[in-house]
Structure 1
Amino acid sequence: MTDRTPSVETALKALRWPLRLTRAGMVAERLTLAFWPLFSLLLSVAALLAFGVHEMVPHGWVLGGLAVSGLATVVALGLGIRAFRWPCRAEALDRLDRTLPGRPIAALGDIQAVGAGDSASEAVWRAHVIRMAERARAAKAVKPDLRVAARDPYALRYVALTAFTVALVFGSLWRAATVTDLAGAGGAALAAGPSWEGWVEPPAYTAKPSLYLNDIDAGPLTVPHGSRLTLRLYGEVGALDVRETVSGRPIPEAGPEGADAMAQSFEVVRPGELAIEGPGGRIWQIVLTPDRAPEIALDGPLSVEANGQMSQPFVAEDDYGVVAGRATITLDAATVDRRFGLVAEPDPREPLVLDLPMTITGDRRDFGETLIENLSQHPWAGLPVQMVLSAEDALGQQGASAPETMVLPGRRFFDPLARAVIEQRRDLLWTRDNGARVARLLRAVSHRPDEVFRDEGAYLQLRVAIRRLEAGVAAGLTPETQDEIAAALWDIAVLIEEGDLSDAAERLRRAQERLAEAMKNGASDEEIAELMQELREAMQDYMRQLAQQQQQDGQQQAQNQQDMQEITGDQLEQMLEQLQQLMEEGRMAEAQQLLEMLRQMMENMQITQGQGGQQTPGQQAMEGLAETLREQQGLSDEAFRNLQDQFNPGQQGQQGQQGQQGQQGQQGQGQGQGQQGQQFGQGQGQGQGQQPGTQGREGDLGQELADRQRALQRELERQQQGLPGLGGSPEGEAARDALDRAGRAMGEAEEALRGDDLAGALDSQAEAMEALREGMRNLGEALAQNQQNPGQQGEGMGQAQAGDRRDPLGREQGAMGRVGTDEEMLQGEDVYGRARELLDEIRRRSGEQERPDIELDYLRRLLDRF
């Protein structure tokens, strides 16, 4: 019977390629472990040479570095050869066998030791060998383990590889070949003869390019002051020599030798001569471009706000740019009125130095800025001082303005007691010798607190400050105690001046400033909404605290009715809603004007608690027309969104739902207005059952808008029937005509909507809104005349006792308690010029494509109309 048991050689033939690949992997693994230091060293040296480091350092350093690198390379190579051992075939078989279950390759080489003559035992053995041969044929090559982290814990191999990769990208391997030029006198450089190279690098702040001297002929050479001149000489030492008189260095009797003679670098600080003497040399006459000192000057008068904040504009210029500026303020002691607490000699104080603001986006060679500071708490506030502005350029040169004599601005105090406290604070800061005198005067001022103090807290704080001052005077008043008491006196004076309203007023002012700044910087809708909420809360706190103070002071609202602004909480809320609407529509200029008007009104107003009594028919009529105008605006906005959906169907569902929700919110407001809201709400309810996008039919949307437009027209007709003040006066007739035009425009808008002509409907709706606004203005004028002549209309009797009320700007306030005025706002003769300016501004904004599409469309509609 033939023995078919496979031999070891037969089984290993099937493992020929896995065995070869495993053995090659072992070779790579052992080469990596043995020679990774050598590879890392070679890559590092190659990276340095590719970056041209050998061209930047003296020749001696280069030669030394090359010698050290060569020695290290030899050592690394020797250690690698010593550590490397070529893998034999048995080692490869053993590694391959260890990856297989049961070690089948080793089993193939085993010999049967027990039962060699037994046929059954031999059959079992043959089956075992065949099974091991099958397992061995499934063997695959073993991957090499190239990790050397245990021998390179600092990953130096990766550092070398990274440096070499960066050198390949940003460097040049051709520069590495130039290292051969650093050989001795017998090198290629000597064979080629002496040569030279030179560069002139102007200072960075001049923004001027570098000059390559080899491309510049001999003769005059103009360079900026402070330029760095670099020269490199090649060839035999002494063949070329450098002679210069521009650096200001002492000229040695014998020129530099060795490496120092072959590479020189120095700054050009004065005009003179630069010469390279020898074969191929040149001579230049260096001319320096003068760097002028900067100039700075005041650019207008000093302006001071009510809180003591000063604003001083200035202009500065320099040929290369100003890098810093300062304002130095010194006391003008010669012009101080030395009376009372200022008789003694003042304590020495350092001049007050303020950093001037520098332009960030503009050109600093010629710019204008404004110094804004509040120095109300400075010891020199209210005293004559001299201010000098200075500017500095990159070279360190300084320029100063002419001294400006001025009184250092500070906060004004109108309360007599607060002024007295501030005056004693000034005397205390003038000199510590005034401590005893200040304490006596403050005690005299507070002798009868019930007659001069309105706030018990201010009196108690003043008594504590007096005792602290007297204790400090007894123990020797120190500068720290002086400053501490001065700070306390300032807080007491502010408390006396502002009373309980200080915190609320400050919060309201801060909210108004933040909102104004947000409008200027183009804040997002979320930020605008957050700042509006903050303004509402601050205004409510201010109104509540002002009302409480009026009650405590016993002020009666009727006593000052003719001199102070009177405004209800509802009117304030109406102004805030109008302000938010203007910002949402992108009309920031109008919003800023309204915010400024609101600020002035809050500063001068007298709060009217409650709702202001029963509304007159005129007030109800004006509110009804205002509600109709808002509803018409909502319909126009929804028609505009539907027009957009026709050209952009992909966003129809989302925008349509948002528009429907916003329209329903407006309708909900209108339904709270009594009979008017009920009638108009019925017309709206018919359209609310269908939401855009749910039916998928544009015709239904047009019919819904047309039905709502028709209901709004009927509501306007109902309001016209009961409007008061439409007698025979010209204003009344004008109001009636304007409202009639509004009704006709609404009818045309309804017909356009039923005909699915959204563009025509938008034009008609715009005409209706303009007519409504004109009618409201004329109606207000008619009602105002009726108030002045109460015999013509009985409804004016309730308002005849209000007197002559004016807004903070001194203009007549609108009739029937409205916020605003019907008085002509465009003052002056050039009304048409102002109209041209507004039209030019609309054209400019319509050309800014980064604005929202809805705003651009609105601007184009304005241009089409006007």
Structure 2
Amino acid sequence: MNARNPLPIPRLSLWLTRAGMLAEQVLRAFWPLISILMAVLAALMLGLHDLAGVELVWAVGALAAMASLVALAMGARRFHWPTHDDALERLDRTLPGRPIRALLDEQAIGAQDAASAEVWRQHQARMAQRAAQAAPVKPDLRLSERDPFALRYSALLALVVALLFGSVWRVSSVSDMAPGGAIAAQGPTWEGWIEPPRYTGKPTLYLADLSDASVQIPEGSDVTLRFYGEIGRLSLSETTSAEGTQAETAPEQSFTATRSGEMRIDGPGGRSWTFEVLPDNPPAIDIAGAAEAQAGGQMTLPFTASDDYGVISGEALIQLDLAKVDRRHGLAAEPDSRDGITVELPMPIAGDRSEFTETLIEDFSQHPWAHLPVTILLSVQDAREQISISAPVSTSLPARRFFDPLAAAVIEQRRDLLWALANAPRVAQLLRAVSHRPEDVFRSETAYLRLRVILRRLETYTEFGLKPEQQAEIAQALWDLAILLEEGTLSDALERLRRAQERLTEAMKNGASDQEIAELMQELREATDDYLRQLQRQAQQDGAEGQDGQQAQNGETMQMTQDDLQRMMDRIQELMEQGRMAEAQQALQEFQQMMENMRVTQGQGQGSQSEGRRAMEDLAETLRDQQGLSDQAFRDLQEQFNPGAQSGDRQGNEGRSGGQGRGQSHDGQGQGSDQAGNGEEGQQGSLADRQQALREELRRQEQGLPGAGTPEGDAARDALDRAGRAMEGAEEALRSDDLAEAIDQQSEAMEAMREGMRALGEALAQEQSQPGQGAQDGDMQARNLDPLGRNQGAVGSISTDEGLLQGEDVYRRARELLDEIRRRTGETDRPKIELDYLKRLLERF
């Protein structure tokens, strides 16, 4: 090219292109030399030469120097300095039509022809416009073909690691390995670190960066020092370790700071510090309240714990206080040797453990020491393995109380049997005396037969010498029998209601605690709701004619509202809390008589109505089962993050067997008021199978769903179809042990089922509101009353034949009703089914 003619090319573009070409030449020619230099520098900054011998360091250094010279020579041969014409050539190759070459050319022929010369000038003008738009050309810095093993990246990685974890000051220490290097050096140097114990969470301190003469460090911190240069020029003296150090000149030194003191480096560039060692105090634990028993038998014991850097673990030790035991009857015998009870204390799963309050919840109802005097000691341990023990607390070991006299007698004999093997003949004799006249004491033939079997086995074992494993077997059988006697079979709603009333009566007579009374009142409320539902279901099955005949025999039907029942039970609980037990027992007797005299009046109803009610009841039952299964999955997920809960129950945690606070190892063997007979169903291994059964049941209900062909019926089917798919996803997640995903899918299934039930209710209401309903239907609906005296309407909705408020009272009464619904919704102690109903009312109105 000819550079005599000026070119309209941007200077910046030309300069950047030439600089990029220079970078290409440097990298392509000298990348081996650059890689060698980075590797050597990384090794020096990491101090690898301090770990090797002088001979090895010199050998590696000579090899690196020779490799550097060879790489430099080869790079110099390959290097080509990019010229101005080279830059123009690269720019020209990136432009269409090669405009720069055209601008440098001259017209060879036709220069004398004016027309030809004009064409040439126009052509060069267009090329000048293109050249003026030239952009810098990116350099090609790829070296993969020249470095197929990526050695340059390995050297670069080593240098980055050295910059992060090494020190530039270490490079100068290599000069000490040269002959006469120590003499030629400017002087010795040092460096040091203070590393606090890991559990403190404190950062490492670099001594050279500490400007303050006084430094606070945790007890147990490790101090490390390194001296470089001529040995003996620098020395260490300190008084913070257990032994202390005076004028130590070793190149590398370390000690542990255990007390406050001074550290001094003597010699060129030496410094001194005053260390204030912060002691690691032992943890502290205190019992924050009295040990109490809930109605289910769980013991609750609140405690507070604290530590400088956090508590690691804790445990409770319970020992029998034999001196305070009333040694009468079965306790008069010398007790068998038994170890104390040791349980782990609950720790916060997340957050700060330096100071916290927790509650120990365990169930000792089946332990031989239940209700006997014991001494409770709590202990905690920190990361330094320092242990602190709380002050001992003397109390009776809280456990489940049995209010049924026969169940209490069985539990007493069980305690005596576990107290000493020598009590076996006495226990057998007393059990035989109890079962002498079963018709007077047993309400259930099953319970009597079970007692006779236990008695025969106990007598057989005693005859041949009772062994400890046989003792445990008989004790477990007696416990199951006592649970059966206390709670009954619960197969009949009325029997359950009566049992709840009897247990509440016995609790009032025996002076139960407020906590036990509150839980027994809640049990009575739930039993009452079950009894009302059973009465309504029975009325639907019997029909109107049979009920009319029964009405004629019993006189007036007793009718009341749900609010009346609620107020009566609230009044009973209020009287008990005030200590007016006589009035409370009288009110409870009136309530019991009222519930037993209650009858249901029910209209004949249409076939489609009964079908719709059955469908709604089946879906509600499936929804409750799905909710219970989701709760079980959530408890198992909690246990994965709190393995210590497997040794017993924790607050808010339930075992795999279902129910809170069984006191066993969450393996389905625990007993409780809500678990009798359901041990197998509560196993973790059956969660996926139970989910599959629920999904199949939902599919069956969906096939027979009424309201086909209507928009509401189709919406109900679509919602239930979504619920089925969500159940299928939950089943797959359970089989793969992904509990978090299973809970999400179960929540989606429950929400879809609720939508389906709302749509089904609207579909049934639409069917009932169709024209053609005669006066006979209206008369039958007028007699369609529920146990509370309310008109159920066509499909279970509540209606009335009474005249409604008129005029301005309509708005006043509506406002009062809405305020009352909101007030009841805020009372969280109400039954869950009632709260759900109130929330639906608020959403609708």
TM range (shorter): 0.3 to 0.5
Whose relative contact order is higher, 1 or 2, with alpha carbons under 8 Å and at least 6 apart?
Answer: 2
Normalised TM-score (structure 2): 0.46
